[in-house]
Amino acid sequence: MQAPQAGVESQGYHAAKSLLKLADTVDVPHAGGPSKLVILTATGYGHERPDGTTVIPITALGP
């Protein structure tokens, strides 16, 4: 997957890349795997990314 050039999509790409890298360091046999890889954003809309991460805007958490 190639990184977008600029803006929110680019930030989401880098956040997902970092989150996936962190998930790879989890000792799955000892701690179990992560149940969900979530990127919390200040703006935008919620969606599932093709890489398995989920984007959730903070406004979806309620008032």
- Domain extents in the chain: 8-61
CA distance 42 to 40: 7
pLDDT by 10-residue block (mean), the chain, 63 residues: 54 90 92 92 91 93 85
CA distance 40 to 61: 10
**Based on the number of CB atoms within 10 Å of its own CB, is 16 exposed (0-12), middle (13-18) or buried (19 or more)?**
buried
Strands 47-48 and 38-41: unpaired
CA distance 28 to 34: 8
Per cent of the chain over pLDDT 70 is 86
Position 15 scores a pLDDT of: 92
Position 7 scores a pLDDT of: 55
Position 39 scores a pLDDT of: 94
Position 50 scores a pLDDT of: 94
Position 9 scores a pLDDT of: 64
